Amino acid sequence: MFIGENLANLRIMRGYSRKQLSELLNVTEQAVWQYENKYTSPKMQVVNALKNAFGVKSKYFYTQDILERTMIRDNIKMQHIAYRSKLIHVISKTQAEAKHMEYLDTFVNYLTAKISYPSLKIIDLRNDVLHYLSTTSEDRITQINKVANLARNRLGFRDDTNDDLLFLVEKSGVFIFEKALGDEIDAYSLWTSQERPYIILGNMKRSSVRRNFDIAHELGHLLLHYRAEFNNLDRKEHKTLEKEADIFAGAFLLPEDAFVSDMSNISHLTNPDAYIDLKKKWGTSLQVLGYRAANLEIFDAKSHRNFYAALHRKGYLKIEPLDDTIPIQTPQKVKTIIDLVAKKGLIDIRQMIENDWMVDVSFFYRLTGIDQRFFSNYLVSEKDFGLENVTALPSRIVRH
């Protein structure tokens, strides 16, 4: 029997309305509703179209999917998703990302079920931040700067570089993935009900420095705005939390003492080209360097306006020097986990893809952002001719 819930899960995750899916399948919107609500079953040609559209096997629609079988209920709360976005309160988009996170968290649970982790730095750090914020009477800017400094120290950052930014955040216990998020959303983050932190980065072609800022910004949300109900915020409240995450990112990426020392060597404060070496050193944009200098009152409001005007005049608001040369860091932790469980024989990746999840490798690419070739390598069977035990025969003497 065709399982309508499986189709609904896939449709919502991909952000399709029933009308959009009906147009893709060349059926009526009413037909899609009937498929999902078990009133009718689609013909095989429609099932074939569905499996191609979603990157799943035909049997996916006739067996309870991985969510129904293993997902932890109510682990993903839509209201806890912190968007770095131009838009807020887009319900369909939020539902799609929440469903995506249900699949993604189920995938992480699947991978990590047979391995154990030591105590996660990010959990201990989050708890200490919560305690500090609940007991201090310091002003909010001071709080944010102190949390940024604490985070940098606890996560093991050097005081003169951000080269290992993504690696150290992943190592702390945050699961970071890439996804095609579109133009409206740069990144988002959330804590699950089971206390697992995620950061989802857009995978559109972006500069390394913008990615670094996105990571730091979302880390700020995870630490400063734990369990905030973002979908209940009005526009002003949302803007306030976004600004706080921006301030955190600047303070986290550009620690005050080291940055002030660097700025003492800048001879022309309002000339963006004078900051190019600092951009390379810290992995931050010229804009962020300028904002951080203004926040630390290294130059006044007029100087900052002149600096920003120079950015605009030089075309640096669209693309900056080094944007196309500094390599973009990509998440590696989940790939490492997959390699580990595969090599130790804890998970058969072919079994996982084809039988447990009943999908194609394209499904996991859309879900995780990990290149399809990485998964496909596990589907190639090595040909073993048993030659490791072959021994040479003694030479035969040929007499004439």
Q: Where are the domains of the chain?
A: 1-64, 333-387
Residue 231's pLDDT band (cuts 50, 70, 90)? confident
Q: Is the dihedral of CA 36, 349, 71, 181 positive or negative?
A: negative
**CA distances in angstroms from 145 to 138, 230, 231, listed in the order given:** 11, 22, 26
Q: Which residue has the higher pLDDT, 46 or 230?
A: 46
pLDDT of residue 91: 59
pLDDT of 154 reads 97
Q: Which residues of 85-117 are buried (b: 16+ CB within 10 A; e: fewer)?
A: beebeeeebbebbbbbbbbbbbbbbbbbeeeee
- Residue 85 pLDDT exceeds 60: no
- The yes-or-no verdict on residue 337 having pLDDT over 60 is yes
Reduced to 3 states (helix: H, G, I; strand: E, B; else coil), residue 191 is strand
Q: Give the pLDDT band of residue 180 (cuts 50, 70, 90).
A: confident
Residue-wise pLDDT tens digits, 106-134: 999 999 998 887 778 999 999 999 999 99
What is the reported pLDDT for 389? 60
User: If pLDDT is split at 50, 70 and 90, which confidence band does 372 have?
Assistant: very high
**Residue 84, Ramachandran bin (φ over 0: left; ψ between -120 and 50: alpha; else beta):** beta
User: What mean pLDDT comes out for the span 40-46?
Assistant: 95
What confidence category does residue 293 fall into, taking pLDDT thresholds of 50, 70 and 90? very high
- For residue 103, is pLDDT > 90? yes
Q: By C-alpha distance, which of 195, 188, 196 is closest to 219?
A: 188
Instruction: Quote the CA–CA distance of 275 and 277 in Å, as a whole number.
Output: 6
pLDDT at position 247: 97
pLDDT above 70: percentage of residues in the chain: 92
Higher pLDDT pick, 381 / 319: 319
Looking at the predicted structure, is the pLDDT value of residue 84 above 80? no
Does the 1-64 domain belong in CATH 3.20.20.210? no
The pLDDT value recorded for residue 205 is 66
Which position has the higher pLDDT, 321 or 75? 321
Distance CA 252, CA 47 (A): 50
When pLDDT is averaged across residues 372-399 and rounded to a whole number, the result is 68
pLDDT of residue 399: 53
**What is residue 382's predicted lDDT score, i.e. its pLDDT?**
56
State yes or no: pLDDT of 86 exceeds 90: no
Per-residue confidence (pLDDT) for residue 385, from 0 to 100: 55
Average pLDDT along the chain:
90
pLDDT at 182: 74
pLDDT at 250 over 60: yes
Q: How far apart are the first and last CA of the chain?
A: 78
Report pLDDT digits (tens) over 136-163. Answer: 999 999 999 999 999 999 999 999 999 9
The DSSP secondary-structure symbol of 359 reads B
User: In angstroms, rounded to a whole number, what is the distance separating the alpha carbons of residues 2 and 163?
Assistant: 50
Residue 211 confidence (pLDDT): 95
